Amino acid sequence: MSLAQTSPARLPSIKSFANWGIFWLLVATVGAGFFFADGINALLRAWSLPEYSHGPLIPVLSLLLFLRQLKSVPENHAAVNDRWPGVAVVAFAFVVAALGKLAQIDDIIIYATIIWVGGVLLISFGWNVGKHFWPPVLHLVYMLPLPETLYYKMTNHLQLISSELGVWFLRLFNVPVFLQGNIIDLGVLRLHVADACSGLAYLFPILSFSYVFAVLYKGPTWHKAILLISAVPITIVMNSVRIAIAGVIANTWGLEWLEGFTHFFEGWVIFIACIVILFALAWIMLRFQKEKMGLVEALDLETDGLATQATRIRLIQPSKALITVAAMAIAVSVAWQFVPQRGGDIISRDSFATFPRTLGEWRQVGFHQPLERDVELALQADDYHQVTFRSPEAAAEVGLFMAWYQDQSRGGVHSPEICLPAAGWEIAWLERTDITEQMGTALPFNINRAIIERGSTRMMVYYWFQQGERRVAWDMAAKFWLMIDGISTGSTDGAIVRLTTLIGEDEPDAQAEARLQSILDDLIEPLPRFIPED
């Protein structure tokens, strides 16, 4: 008989919970907790950041979704013969976590915890029943931090869209405004995109809410899809409105009024407004249905019996599959203590402070140019060098920027594809190419060749990511090889090298590129002293 159909009864006593099934589940959980500890600690650190502060709520919501779904599953006191697929899933989770530990990338370990949860559910209920609990398990993804490269790519793109839309709104109100990259110039005030778009910190909790909303929604599947997809545009539009209102206030009443408005709207106002719009969207879609249904009817908000469902933990059986994963958890946790720790060795290299002031015919102009403090903090490099070189034979100077990271496993290189647009440069053309043949090197030499523009100013750019002797053009490929190197050798160091030169008003692009190629030819020889290739 389905538990949802039984009459309310007295909750089981504490003694009824003291069975061997619970014991083995506890052993499996504690053992896995030790093995996943690095990932769990990284998750807790991520939850302290504003954009992931919603994280602690996600497991709670997933548990409630699971208990609601469990109401439709009858109690089963008979033998379950299809538990072993869950053991395979748990084993896969441990393999993924082990790779993450070898690569020293905690995010991979965090992802493995969700796989482990899914495996335990398959063991507890068997494959035929447990596979239907994927919605609450999948929802746990929303508690995880995005990989940094993906996070910066996504948020930078969304911030620029939000700012452009906000500026469009301001111009509708005849507010004089100028947008250049990550700067919104209101005349009386200059806003950074990151400051102007702080409302985007609510994108992740709104995505989570839209997922829960779609799960509880009883309308058509295409309605659910729209509710899921709409979270991103709703957040962007609301943040653009926030930017526009801030601009109108600053332009009309002055900066002192803006400060109070900013504090007010940086709270839960944006979040609540987005939720209201989400509800309104669902209500509008229901209006066009043939079978009329109210919004309250369309949401399955039944919460009765959830506590009773939670007591079904007493029914967990001490199966061979459960005992196997408990033993597996203890075994991998103990065995890992004997795995030699890798990484952490300081790479022998020369500091950029001793970098040559002469490269062939190129001579350094002035001194090292330090970055702005906020840019330097965002870069998080262990050593960097930014200088300008000039040649008597060249029509323009060449800028050289290099950044070195001793350990990229918890951050690392930020791609110019992110930084340049944030600084107001538009990437007019970008090509990833292999210049191995023209450099005369034995190993592949992959670089990015780009032309960037800001107003009437144009620049030619060369840049690449370097990890040991490997030169990589694509930032996602660089992260992939970082993981591979971490697993195979424990090495997580790396660097980025960038060359830039102005393109004259009537100068052919090929001439500007010839300058970059000329200094690159002279740069290759001394570079390994500062960016080791071993």
Chain segment 276-285, per-residue pLDDT in tens: 999 999 999 9
Helices 255-264 & 231-252 angle (0-180, nearest 10) = 160
Q: Residue 134's pLDDT is what?
A: 94
Average pLDDT over residues 518-528: 95
* C-alpha span between 421 and 43 (Å, rounded): 30
- Tell me, what amino acid is at 309? Q
Whether the per-residue pLDDT at 18 is higher than 60: the answer is: no
Average pLDDT over residues 409-435: 81
180: pLDDT confidence band, cut at 50, 70 and 90? low
Q: Residue 422's pLDDT is what?
A: 67
Whether the per-residue pLDDT at 434 is higher than 50: the answer is: yes
Kindly give, in sequence order, each residue whose CB lies less than 8 Å from that of residue 81, ignoring residues fewer than 6 positions away: 126
Handedness of CA 28, 30, 31, 37 (dihedral sign): positive
| Residue 80 token pair | 């379950």
Whether the per-residue pLDDT at 313 is higher than 70: the answer is: yes
Closest CA to 160 of 422, 430, 407, 432: 422
Q: Residue 32's pLDDT is what?
A: 96
Whether the per-residue pLDDT at 165 is higher than 90: the answer is: no
| Residue 442 token pair | 């034995």
Whether the per-residue pLDDT at 339 is higher than 70: the answer is: yes
Q: What SS3 state is found at 168?
A: helix
Q: Of the spans 192-196, 258-262, 500-504, which averages the highest pLDDT?
A: 500-504
Q: Residue 4's pLDDT is what?
A: 37
CB 278 within 8 Å of CB 231: yes
How far apart, in Å, are the Cα atoms of 386 and each of 66, 179, 344, 353, 422?
54, 27, 27, 10, 18
Q: Residue 175's pLDDT is what?
A: 82
Give the pTM. Answer: 0.79
192: pLDDT confidence band, cut at 50, 70 and 90? low
Q: What SS3 state is found at 450?
A: strand
Going by their DSSP bridges, the two strands 457-467 and 446-454 should be labelled as antiparallel
Whether the per-residue pLDDT at 6 is higher than 50: the answer is: no
